[in-house]
Amino acid sequence: MRAIATPLWTAIPSLARPKAPWICRQCLRAPERPAAIAVQTTRIDVTSHILRAKGARAFSSSTKTSLAERTGKITWRERVRLDSKERRRVAIGVTALFLLGSGALAFSSEARHIYIAAERCGRVVVTLYLNIRDYLHILKQQDSPTFQADLSEVHKRCAQRTLKAMEKNGSIFIKLGQHLTSLNYLLPSEWCETFIPLQDKCPVSSFRSIEQMVKADTGKSLEDYFSEFAAEPIGAASLAQVHLARIRETGEKVAVKVQHPGLDEWASLDMWLTRFSFRTLKYWFPEYDLTWLSEEMEVSLPKELDFREEAYNARRTKAYFANIPSHPLIVPTVLWAERRVLVMEFITGHRPDDLEFLDANGISRDEVSAALARIFNEMIFGTDAPLHCDPHGGNMAIRLKDPSKRSAKNFEVILYDHGLYRDIPLQLRRAYAHMWLAVLETDIPSMRHWAYEIAGVGDEEFPIFASAITGRDFSVVTSNVVTDRHSPDEQRSLSESLGQDLIEKLVGLLARVPRVILLVLKTNDLTRSLDENLHTTQGPMRSFMILARYAARCVWDERKEEVKKEGSVWWPQNMFKLGIAALAYAKVAVKLRVYEYWLSARRVVGLSNDITSATGIL
């Protein structure tokens, strides 16, 4: 028999290569593994060896162990493969984290907006509900002997509750509260006094938010426009604040008016809440309809929030009064404007009621009062004149006259904040002039006629309308002493009248009056308040005379236009009509001039002009 050749290393045991035993993965994971046994074979069954090798490969395809697991060492290929896997895991993790973070941020921003909106709505709705509940409860106790005292307590409680809601919501609610403060002829005194803190409750936006807003609106940063920009505002109001800056190209010092960035987010919602509140009040108290307030705000607020409108109004007013050099009015020059950014010439001065400044610089209070009266009556009665509808002390300033200018006066009036303007229709302007001439002449039938022309006011509502126009009790309007100061008896009479059914009638009347007339009344009220704060020596009489002069000029212009429409003014009939109109105007002008000289003479000799004998000045 032929012997099978045996490999040398099997024949000689010392040359045999040690073979590592194969151990399954399960055994490797066992807590105790037997020590590897070196097997030295002298004779190998080729067939079994091959089968064993194939089985091992087949098994290892599913449970393959790496060299690291077998020897504890990592080859460079495995290291690369491991690093690649780790990088993929890290990349996937970072990407997932970024996507989750972005989604969470977007969701949280949206959720935050919804939460704050719900919170703002909730404050208004809860406050409205509690106030209505309190008033419905107290109105059921009108027969109680303590009704008036209890009603006053309800007024205070509801006003305080409303004040807190307005302060927390901010935004245009501050503006609304400031406006309600001036409605002392409509609202109970408890409400007006409670809202007084809102006059100084003006928010201040952060410098960072201003930077972001300017970048969003203009596409450029503050540094692109200005070499200097003060981080702290020099003044703040309910809708905007003003910063000092210096133009980069020219070095000119300017005032930059910027809108509070938060207004954009909440203005629409707040207007809806305001409208909802007044409509709800009207539903429960139909006799107290104040929806005209929200309607006026819906018209005015979008214009006030667009500074391009303000820039247009300022330029128009500056151009209009440039043709009337006798009026010492200064309007800062607008350099450029965007929707929420306005850059204008920086001009500073002192408040009109800064009596210490006026007296220290020899500026006559009477002349300041007269200048203000001429400026705003020109706006009311002047042909195509723009009407500034917010002339309070914070929107004006007085400064010493520029020595280079020719003027008999030693001061100038600076007019700021041109956001709220109106144009009075020509026919309404003329009807209003006729109404005032009738008031100053104490012509009751004529007053009734023009009251109907202006607002459709009937005989029953006429006394209320006359009081609203003049700001005086009707008994004063009909007694030829409308030019005097408010006496204690008149103030008491007004308070008693407002405590009865007069408020309900006045509210109903104001709901029907043309909106522009409401703004004219507001302008008149504010200018009267300025005059009172100046403590002039001539009282309100000179202001009324100035008003009469402008009203008479307006009527004279109307007469001339009517005559021209009928043909040539050289026709005898038209010349006669024109002469009659000229005589009527001259009559008023002469009376006013004589009366003004008389007041000046009394002031020179030290007599008070706060008198009650000045009746029927026209």
**Which residues are marked as active site?**
390
Parallel, antiparallel or unpaired: strands 334-337 and 240-247: unpaired
Q: Which amino acid is at 470?
A: T
**CB count in 10 Å sphere of residue 131:** 21
Q: Mark residue 171 as left, alpha or beta (left: phi above 0; alpha: psi -120 to 50; beta: remaining).
A: left
Do 527 and 372 contact (CB within 8 A), yes or no? yes
CA distance 371 to 426: 24
Write out the two tokens for 159: 């006003």
Residue 596's nearest CA partner among 406, 446, 374 is: 374
Residue 390's nearest CA partner among 402, 400, 403, 376 is: 376
CA distance 424 to 419: 16
CA distance 589 to 256: 44
How far is C-alpha 157 from the chain's CA centre?
A: 27
How far is C-alpha 175 from the chain's CA centre?
A: 6
DSSP per-residue string spanning 432-473: HHHHHHHHHHT-HHHHHHHHHHHH---TTTHHHHHHHHHTS-
Please, where are the H alpha helices in 182-262? 189-194, 207-218, 222-225
**CB count in 10 Å sphere of residue 568:** 9
Parallel, antiparallel or unpaired: strands 396-400 and 253-259: unpaired
Parallel, antiparallel or unpaired: strands 411-415 and 329-330: parallel
**CB count in 10 Å sphere of residue 331:** 24
CA distance 361 to 254: 26
CA distance 25 to 119: 63
**CB count in 10 Å sphere of residue 246:** 16
Dihedral sign of CA atoms 405, 410, 411, 412 in order = negative
Strand partners, 413: 329, 398
